[in-house]
Structure 1
Amino acid sequence: MHLIIMRHGEAGWHTNDQQRELTETGRRDVADVAAHLAESPYRPRAIWCSPLLRAQQTAAIVAEVINCPIEEKSFITPDDDPGLCLDALLEQPPASPLLIVSHMPLVGALATLLVDAHRRGLPFMPGEAVVLDMPVVGPGCADMKTQFLP
């Protein structure tokens, strides 16, 4: 399975955390990363996204470029346990490649859990995406294949 983990694009701070929107720079950066994903061998077939607005906007931009469905998942918000996402990946094998659009610190903790089997957390820039190759879904079972930077 190929899993792509992406942090939402740059968002403004003019409102509460739930309603933060992407900036124009954030929208452009996400569109650039989406274009690279569309041309890559890891083109997503499905997207899971956080219910927060900036992640939904990021997922919508990517989905428009690559033409794939989006599913909102309540367990991938910033402070959620990455183990919940791992459990969901184990319970129902999703389409591969799957793109998860979420937030720091979850994206860093999830990537680290899958690659190194701990939860310290890799840093992610806004709009950054990493591709993991997982022959088996589980802690420490993934290899990082590539990354896409805005």
Structure 2
Amino acid sequence: MQLIIMRHGEAGWHSLDQERELTDVGRHGAAAVAAAIGKSSWRPDRIWCSPYTRARQTAAIVSEVLNCPVDEKPFITPDDDPGLCLDALLETDISRLMLVSHMPLVGSLSTLLVDGHRKGIPFMTAQAVVLDMPVVGPGCADLKEQFLP
């Protein structure tokens, strides 16, 4: 499985956390990263995104650039257990998948898959990493590339 994990673009602070919207900078950053992914060999077949507004907006931008369908998943919000996402990854038959979510989940999920622990690495807004996993599981992924806005 190839998995791209992306943090949503920059969002404003003028509303409740779940309703925060992307700023102009956030929209441009998401589009720039999507364009870079589109020029690479890491194009996803499907996107899973958090139901929070900023993640849905980021996923919509990426979807438009990459011509890729999006599914909202309730288990990839900021404070969700990365183990729930791991369980879903084990059950899916999608071989090239992208997740658009939030810190700290993107950091803890990435380190769980690469290093086998959940301490979490930092992600900038709109940053994406590509993980290659011959087998889905803790410590089974190799970090292949990263895309920055």
Query: TM-score band, normalised by the shorter chain?
Result: over 0.9
Q: Distance in 2 between matches of 1:18 and 1:90?
A: 27
Normalising by structure 1, report the TM-score: 0.98
Residue aligned with 1:115, SS: helix
Any unmatched runs of 5+ in structure 2? none
Normalising by structure 2, report the TM-score: 0.99
Aligned residues: 149
Once the 2 structures are TM-superposed, how far is the Cα of residue 91 of structure 1 from its aligned partner? Answer: 1.4
What whole-Å deviation, never above 9, does each CA across 1:85-112 have from its counterpart, x for those lacking one? Answer: 0000111222x32100000000000000
Q: Distance in 2 between matches of 1:117 and 1:6?
A: 19
Any unmatched runs of 5+ in structure 1? none
Does residue 81 of structure 1 match 2:99? no
Tell me how large the CA RMSD over aligned residues is: 0.5
Q: Distance in 1 between matches of 2:45 and 2:93?
A: 13
Identity of aligned residues (%): 72
Letter in 2 for 1:73: K
Once the 2 structures are TM-superposed, how far is the Cα of residue 137 of structure 1 from its aligned partner? Answer: 0.2
Residue aligned with 2:119, SS: coil
Q: Which residue of 2 aligns with 1:32?
A: 32
Q: Which residue of 1 aligns with 2:141?
A: 142
Q: Distance in 2 between matches of 1:101 and 1:36?
A: 16
What whole-Å deviation, never above 9, does each CA across 1:63-100 have from its counterpart, x for those lacking one? Answer: 00010100000000000000000000111222x32100
Q: Which residue of 1 aligns with 2:121?
A: 122
Q: Distance in 2 between matches of 1:149 and 1:55?
A: 16
Letter in 1 for 2:56: Q
Q: Which runs of 4+ in 1 moved over 4 A?
A: none
Letter in 2 for 1:16: L
Q: Which residue of 2 aligns with 1:13?
A: 13
Once the 2 structures are TM-superposed, how far is the Cα of residue 44 of structure 1 from its aligned partner? Answer: 1.1
Residue aligned with 2:31, SS: helix
